[in-house]
Chains A and B, each alone.
Chain A
Amino acid sequence: MDSRIKTPKVERVLLYQRHRRREYVTGTLCLTDRHLIFIEPTGLMETWVLYHHIHSVERQSLTTKGYPLVIETKTFRQLFMIIPRESDCHDIMDTIASFSRPDTYRELYAFQFTPSSDGFVKSSGWNLYDSVVEYGRMGVPNEHWVCTELNKDYELCETYSNTLFVPAKAEKSVVLGSAKFRSKGRLPVLSYYCQAKNSALCRSSQPLTYITRRSQEDEAMIQAIIDANPNSSSLHLLDSRPKINAVANKAAHKGGYETTDNYPNIVYQFNNIQNIHVMRESLQKLLEALHSPAGVSSVLQGLDASSWLRHIHLVLEAGAFIAKALYTEGINVLVHCSDGWDRTAQTCSLASLMIDKYYRTIHGFMILIEKEWLSFGHKFTIRSGHINSDSKEVSPIFTQFLDAVWQIMVQFPKSFEFNELFLLTIHDHLFSCQFGTFLGNNERDRKINKFSEKTYSLWGYIWSRLDDFTNPLFDNDTENYIMPKTEVSILSLWRGLYCCYETGPHPQELMEEVAGSLRQQNVCIQDHIKYLEQHRDSLEKQIKEYQECLSLCSSTTSTSEDVFTDESKDPSSSEPDGRAPLKGCNEKLRLESLNLRSLLLHVPEINLPWTPLRVASQCGCGSAFTFSKRKYHCSYCGTVVCSTCGSYHAPLRYLATSTTSHRVCKSCSKMSNISDQQILER
């Protein structure tokens, strides 16, 4: 056993369901090398908490029942338990501390994780994103924009991807000079190209304009970006920081901002999005308000005092500003903040999401994250606190981005191919360290650590259970450009994320489950109808052929006995004499009849109606359905199963004509492998 586990099992632990109401259960706490597991003696309830998900463990002062321990997870779960003995309490805290924040990547879950056999392969998902393909989709390279190899070995900028797109007009010296003049070498490069308007979205870090420094190359670079758009002679420069932060950076000789004196053709704007520290504290305040609130009034007060929605508003507003500039005005935009990997990633990806409906598909959204976040170097390891590092650098930037996406989804329920569960799953695995996708701080980092060889990709996992994440209301014909409202009053608290582990705030019945099942059933029936039609047609044809054959044979003198005597002989050795036509006729009649009988033998039937979702409270595997444990139907038997039990996909027997595979439960997946032929042979 791992030496870090000092006490594998602690008995008589009290776990509070609702701390305020003093409802608790007594059970056993088990510590494994991955999870903390609380088991209630009746076996009805098990609570699993992944160590990597644990954000903090705090010991409170002794009570009569024992030593209270409060565990908070990065996925907004709060566990309050009481441990009878102090030494156990101490051991639990040590174990959690050593597992939840290890010192090296090697110790993370991803390096041990193997999916269950029916899952997916290690390589799947790792090659999802190819920048050349994605920029190609946008129509780049073209006469204005080209791919540069200057960052091939990350010599230009170590935190960027090694393939970058820059203005065709920008010469090598301009690119090199601009990189030198930008914080951490993060020069302005193309993030998104809006083909319909020839407008471009670029991103960078802040320029090093402190004192009176300037760079001809950087100024030329900006002019090259402006010139790359034939329809406009200016550029919106969006500094997503508050002005005071930009000025402070300048004063501290850490950066600065562009001025129209040196960059004459720009329109400068600050967007007042606060830095990572403010965001971290804001979310902390929000969570405090949501943990055991006294009433709706205290929730609203907390929501207001935390400013969380105000921050989301500013982020969305910046995204909307960019989208409008690119799409309706056709003007190029350059976005930066300080380093250009937090606020810039948020605003650029949100703008892309508003302009291009491809990013609102499941595939497109994964590409968007790959492009704006992973390839442009958002520091996932540091911001999420995967391994032991400075806690001041941890910040919910990506969480905030997902929240902003959710806010848009709520306003445009038909425009997204993915559902809320998709976002929640991504958020869960942002911290689970089960997949290698969000490990590392940039592309170079991931290459050095060989994550793609040694770990599985989250995208592979998601791609293997696409049905779980599909929005049944999705309408592919919706518009490319959507413009969400961004006022604080329109935004809502994302209960699905921040109250995920509470049962009350979620709807007791999920519209989406029923709509999804309806859509699934429609596809099944459609396929089944096609199958029946084909079956009917071939049966009719067979009857006709048999009829013809019968009338042909009945005009001859042969009896049915002849057929069987003929059968005993090898048909290939039949003598080429005058009896051949008759023998051939009988033989044909026999075959036609067999064909007819086989067609009559069995017509598999679709099992309707399916079990109503409402009556199912738990899956056959014993797990109870909840807000995050959704209900699905087996297309074959119509029973209600959870996503794990219903993760099998098989082309169904009764849908034999269809090549699409359908969601089935485990036992049906075994059955559906038996083909029609095998059934007939029995």
Chain B
Amino acid sequence: MDLMEKVKRPVVEKVCLVVNQGEVIEGALCVTAFHFVFSTRIKAQDEIMFLHTSILLLERQNPSTGTLINVTLKDFRRFSIDFPDVESCNDVFESLEMLSHPGRIDKLHPFFFRPRIPPSDIPPFSPENMTSLFTRYKCPPDDWRVSDCNRGYKLCSSHPEEVIIPAKINDQEIGAVASFRQHGKFPILSYYNSKQRSVILRCGEPLCGTTLKRCKEDIKLLNSCLKIGKGRIFDIRTQQAAQHHMSKGGGVEFPSNYSQWRVEYGSMESITNIQSSYLKLIDVCSDVNNSSWYGRLESSGWLTHVEQLLRAVKHVVHSVYQEGTSVVLHGTNGCDGTLQVSSLAILLMDPQARTIRGFLQLIEREWLQGGHPFSLRHNIVSAAPEKQKGPIFLLFLDAVWQIMRQYPLSFEFNELLLHILFVHSYSSSYGTFLYDNPAERDRHKLREKTESLWDYILLSPDVMSSIINPLYSKNSTLLVVSVHPCSIVFWKRLYLRTDLSPTLSLESHEVLLKLKAENEELKEKLIKIRKELDEVQSKGREYSSVWS
């Protein structure tokens, strides 16, 4: 085991952990090949354990002479470690630096992790296949079909092998379309509204270039989605950004070629801008005592990204659900902002996506099968170029949280599930979020070699009882999200972690669970007592009839 060789000092005694601006806990530090463990050896609650890959930042004050290391985790937890001597500090620092970025994905913990999953009656997770999605969305077979044209990921590595495409387009034509779209990402159906017969399609940018190349199969494909009226091509980028990409061979659909479509632009920022916002946000969150804190939060620009994302989603939902106008969504690769918008739009329109299982299906379908490059964006192995890093998924989770805040009773789960997804998408013992697209996951046999996060969530009763929303009741209507500037709220519980417990705590969760359980219990008891009374009554009736 070569990672073990990087552990220079497995145990350091008398280490001080400094949390919460000054609170000091003394204990022992253990560094294993995968885990960082701190324990006071007295109380289990005081134990802190995380994967080395959870480390976002390691800072040393006065390198080579100081004994203090500042650690920031990817889930915004933050603390300092004070070592008894410089040598142990040096050793641990070096080990952690290497172990937090082990270089190769197949050296990560999921490949060595075999949890004991207790036997359960609950069926394990399996991704919803396209045929059942096709049926659930009530897609008319005259217009749409399930195709396995991407078998073996031969057309596009960031699409699933089975896709739903217009019925009028044959697999050969799809091949031509794929070669006209960025990374072969041809348009596929992401959502179908059976009432309005309108759809969301998503894809990569067209490879028009400056020569304004056209592809008749692509035009045919898009046009065959339309019933009446014009469709809407929503390029989530700004107009300048879209035009800038023309010089790189990409760009946006040229209006005269797509006369049945209206091209619109969003205001989504580039990944680089979102990343720099995120870095500023981390800074802001470690500066909780600053009295100009809200000014600093503003200058990070994070909430503006959230606001813009929700505006784009609202626009798409309005179009598809209320106007009945179909929408084609794309940015550059169709793997980042495009997925944010499509998955959030589905969340607002499809009640199934707001259940626990349904939400995991949504993440599986729109994000994992949709080819969001998790390993690159989350810098899993430290080989990612700066330009590729970006918390696109976190921004999505933040937007989900905003919707949940507005509709706290319409989700079967609470924000703890979002927290679990956030943490595990960055660093996990489960393989679910590893690699950059379904083709890579398939090639590395992830399904056989690692455990699924989805099963961990669905099959462990503890996790389920902590993420369930006791007051949930199914809401079949469209969730109309408010984008009023005062409606966008900072997600304090996630970003301003002041304690070191691995999960967030929801103060009212226990009370609500208790209320709900009590209600169920009382209702049962009521039925029982009524039955008893009925029996006594019929007995009484017998007697009273004897007399009269």
The residues of A with any CB-CB pair to B shorter than 8 Å are: 290, 293-301, 303-305, 309-310, 313, 412-414, 472-473, 475, 485, 487-490, 492-493, 495, 499, 502-505, 507-511, 514-515, 518-519, 521-522, 525-526, 528-529, 532-533, 535-536, 539-540, 542-543, 546-547, 550, 560, 589, 593, 596-597, 599-600, 603, 606, 608, 612, 614
Instruction: Flag if A525 contacts B522 (CB, 8 Å).
Output: yes
Set of chain B residues within 8 Å of A485, measured between Cβ atoms: 498
Q: Give the dominant DSSP class at B's interface.
A: helix
Which among B375-383, B390-398, B508-516 touches the partner chain? B508-516
Instruction: Flag if B547 contacts A593 (CB, 8 Å).
Output: yes
Check: B407 CB closer than 8 A to any chain A CB.
yes
- Bound Cα distance A35, B291 (Å): 41
- Bound Cα distance A301, B485 (Å): 12
Q: A539-B537, A600-B540 are in contact. Are A472 and B515 (CB under 8 A)?
A: yes
User: Which residues of chain B (456-504) have a CB below 8 Å from chain A?
Assistant: 471, 473, 475, 479-480, 482-490, 492, 496, 498
Instruction: Flag if B482 contacts A503 (CB, 8 Å).
Output: yes
Q: A504-B484, A532-B530 are in contact. Are A597 and B544 (CB under 8 A)?
A: yes
Check: B112 CB closer than 8 A to any chain A CB.
no
Instruction: Flag if B298 contacts A543 (CB, 8 Å).
Output: no
Check: B304 CB closer than 8 A to any chain A CB.
yes
Instruction: Flag if A297 contacts B409 (CB, 8 Å).
Output: no
Set of chain B residues within 8 Å of A489, measured between Cβ atoms: 285, 287-290, 293-294, 492, 496
Residue of A nearest to B522 (CB): A525
Leading 9 A-B pairs by shortest Cβ distance: A504-B484, A304-B295, A504-B482, A300-B298, A505-B486, A304-B294, A525-B522, A489-B293, A296-B488
- Bound Cα distance A681, B30 (Å): 81
B226 CB → nearest A CB, Å: 30
Q: Which of B290, B511, B541, B547 meets A589, CB within 8 Å? A: B547
Mark each residue of chain B from 522 to 538: 1 if its CB lies under 8 Å from any CB of chain A, else 0.
Answer: 11011001101100110
Residue of A nearest to B480 (CB): A508
Check: B1 CB closer than 8 A to any chain A CB.
no
B33 CB → nearest A CB, Å: 37
User: Which residues of chain B (238-296) have a CB below 8 Å from chain A?
Assistant: 285, 287-295
Instruction: Flag if A414 contacts B511 (CB, 8 Å).
Output: yes
Given A532-B529, A600-B541, 8 more A-B residue pairs with CB atoms under 8 Å apart are A294-B485, A300-B294, A303-B294, A511-B408, A519-B515, A525-B519, A529-B529, A543-B536
Check: B72 CB closer than 8 A to any chain A CB.
no
A-B residue pair count with CB separations less than 8 angstroms: 186
A434 CB → nearest B CB, Å: 28
Instruction: Flag if A509 contacts B408 (CB, 8 Å).
Output: yes
Instruction: Flag if A550 contacts B515 (CB, 8 Å).
Output: no
Q: A509-B408, A539-B536 are in contact. Are A529 and B526 (CB under 8 A)?
A: yes
- Bound Cα distance A611, B316 (Å): 33
B315 CB → nearest A CB, Å: 15
Set of chain A residues within 8 Å of B541, measured between Cβ atoms: 600
Instruction: Flag if A507 contacts B407 (CB, 8 Å).
Output: yes
- Bound Cα distance A597, B536 (Å): 13
Instruction: Flag if A505 contacts B482 (CB, 8 Å).
Output: yes
- Bound Cα distance A304, B290 (Å): 11
Instruction: Flag if A488 contacts B482 (CB, 8 Å).
Output: no
Check: B366 CB closer than 8 A to any chain A CB.
no
Check: B507 CB closer than 8 A to any chain A CB.
yes
Set of chain B residues within 8 Å of A603, measured between Cβ atoms: 533, 537
Instruction: Flag if B298 contacts A304 (CB, 8 Å).
Output: yes
Instruction: Flag if A550 contacts B543 (CB, 8 Å).
Output: yes
Instruction: Flag if B485 contacts A614 (CB, 8 Å).
Output: no
Chain B interfacial residues counted at CB < 8 A = 66
- Bound Cα distance A310, B291 (Å): 6
Check: B358 CB closer than 8 A to any chain A CB.
no
Set of chain A residues within 8 Å of B485, measured between Cβ atoms: 293-296, 298-299
- Bound Cα distance A533, B528 (Å): 11
Residue of A nearest to B498 (CB): A485
Residue of B nearest to A536 (CB): B533
Instruction: Flag if B288 contacts A293 (CB, 8 Å).
Output: no
Instruction: Flag if A543 contacts B292 (CB, 8 Å).
Output: no
Set of chain B residues within 8 Å of A507, measured between Cβ atoms: 405-408
Check: B546 CB closer than 8 A to any chain A CB.
yes
Q: Which of A305, A493, A535, A600 meets B295, CB within 8 Å? A: A305
- Bound Cα distance A74, B536 (Å): 62
Residue of B nearest to A513 (CB): B409
Residue of A nearest to B535 (CB): A536
Instruction: Flag if B304 contacts A614 (CB, 8 Å).
Output: no
Check: B136 CB closer than 8 A to any chain A CB.
no
Mark each residue of chain B from 388 to 419: 1 if its CB lies under 8 Å from any CB of chain A, else 0.
Answer: 00000000000000000111111000000000
User: Which residues of chain B (407-442) have a CB below 8 Å from chain A?
Assistant: 407-410
Instruction: Flag if A518 contacts B519 (CB, 8 Å).
Output: yes
Q: Which of B293, B482, B489, B526 meets A606, CB within 8 Å? A: B526
Set of chain A residues within 8 Å of B487, measured between Cβ atoms: 504-505
Set of chain B residues within 8 Å of A475, measured between Cβ atoms: 511
Check: B312 CB closer than 8 A to any chain A CB.
no
- Bound Cα distance A293, B483 (Å): 12
Check: B297 CB closer than 8 A to any chain A CB.
yes
Q: A297-B301, A596-B544 are in contact. Are A508 and B407 (CB under 8 A)?
A: yes
